[in-house]
Chains A and B, each alone.
Chain A
């Protein structure tokens, strides 16, 4: 049998529309829900997704409504992504302001007109604090809280004198990768670097384990790396959750080679930054950090060379100083020595001259010879004996005529 009282579907949907309009028109609601079935049409800036609520402690849905964000809502989502660093994506728990509308063709729809930034920042921050607390509790051997930061095994490592052999973890052909390599290769000091590239996606929370695996591989390679560098940058300011996981924070903290990060972001440091040896803000800054470290080492070398050169100059100078008086002494004293000896000789000469009989004769003395011998004692001389008297310029033969003894 055919019921007589029926209406057309359009009449029914019209009735639904009128009823809903009566209740919801001009009203908006702040609701907490999870995002699912998300897609984004960049050309006309539209987000299509569903908002769902799950039963506590299970994945069973208790509510689900399709939703859309037109230009206004998409703009808000854009600001949200930039401010939170969190991509608007499936699984995200959000506080959104929606209007309720019904169209006969498309059914019930929520329209997103605003999204609460602080709700998500708070949630992310809570999540981050939970992970940090877990790292501190479960990895106490190599992670300890210290003031506002953390002391980890990795950030207590010391760099070698120069950083040259580098393991670079990056995604291929991104601006950040090019910035880093270009900055290192064109450094004006002319430092050379030996870089091994380990390419991996650096977006998407679910790719976190890939980075962890690469760190394991680098460690197992036993290559003598001076540092491991993790960079990401040049792209969107969103989706940093890949660097906010417990597993990655743990391996970075424990890692035996110093890790330098250059993860482009404006917000607070990620967990990887906090656990790493040397966090920097961008890939370029990471490269500059390495160059500065090496420049510091070169300066040390140059200072040492300068010091050595100066000290040697001083030493040579002081040796020259000590040589000079010695040369003077040897010169002067050897002359003096000869002079002294000359003096002695002159003295002897004078004495000899003084004692020379010829000189004595000149002074009016005479020498008496008897039998050819000089007479020094007159005892043997008696009157009548012949003697010779030698005087200056003449010899006299004489006979003694008289002798008187005194």
Chain B
């Protein structure tokens, strides 16, 4: 997953995979592949959120000690 991928793009792709899996339109042949991709996307989104959260928390801490 390139660094250039935006959170929104990752999230949209994840939504697509979710729909395929929930509606069972993913064939068994590609299911494993889809799940693997989903896992990667989830990890990517969570990392992005956590990094943003840390930065926001740092700014807040900075404001509160200012």
CB <8 Å contact, B52 and A316: yes
CB <8 Å contact, B31 and A337: yes
Contact of B49 among A302, A308, A316 (CB under 8 A): A316
CB distance from B53 to the nearest CB of A (A): 5
Q: Is the contact region of chain A dominated by helix, strand, or loop, or is it mixed?
A: helix
**Number of residues on chain B facing chain A (CB within 8 A):** 27
CA–CA, A322 to B7, complex, Å? Answer: 13
Closest to A327 in B: B42
| CB-CB under 8 A for A323 and B21, given A302-B66, A316-B56, A337-B31 | no
CA–CA, A134 to B46, complex, Å? Answer: 73
Q: Chain A contact residues (Cβ within 8 angstroms of B): what range? A: 20 to 34
CB <8 Å contact, B18 and A330: yes
CA–CA, A234 to B52, complex, Å? Answer: 55
CA–CA, A372 to B8, complex, Å? Answer: 69
CB distance from B41 to the nearest CB of A (A): 9
Closest to A341 in B: B28
Q: Which of A310, A322, A326, A329 has the most CB of B within 10 A?
A: A326
CB distance from A109 to the nearest CB of B (A): 72
Q: Which of A308, A309, A323 has the most CB of B within 10 A?
A: A309
Known contacts A302-B63, A309-B59, A323-B49; 8 further A-B pairs (Cβ under 8 A): A309-B60, A309-B63, A319-B11, A320-B46, A326-B15, A333-B24, A334-B34, A337-B21
- In the complex, the 4 A-B pairs of residues with the closest C-beta atoms, listed nearest first: A333-B21, A312-B56, A309-B60, A333-B22
B residues lining the A interface (CB < 8 Å) = 7, 11, 14-15, 17-18, 21-22, 24, 26, 28, 31, 34-35, 38, 42, 45-46, 49, 52-53, 56-57, 59-60, 63, 66
